[in-house]
Amino acid sequence: MQDEDIALNSVLGLELNRVFFAVHESANKQKIIEFARKVLHGERAELTESALPEGPAS
């Protein structure tokens, strides 16, 4: 499953890169950057939550 996630993230990253360079207006590029940051922040938060041990430490 992790390999599939890595492959999907690579494809999404390449597609985001393509869209970014296809857009000519700076305001729209800024929106793309903000969206990518939100997605990345959400992914990092999920990874952090899943890495934390559940319940109090013994």
27: helix, strand or coil: helix
User: What is the per-residue pLDDT across 6-36, written as a single tens digit (0 to 9) for each?
Assistant: 888 888 888 888 888 888 898 988 998 898 8
Mean pLDDT on 1-8: 79
Residue 54 pLDDT grade (very low, low, confident, very high; cuts 50, 70, 90): low
Q: How many CB atoms lie within 10 A of CB 29?
A: 14
Instruction: Give the model's pLDDT for residue 16.
Output: 84
Give the dihedral of Cα atoms 53, 2, 21, 28; nearest 10 deg. Answer: -40
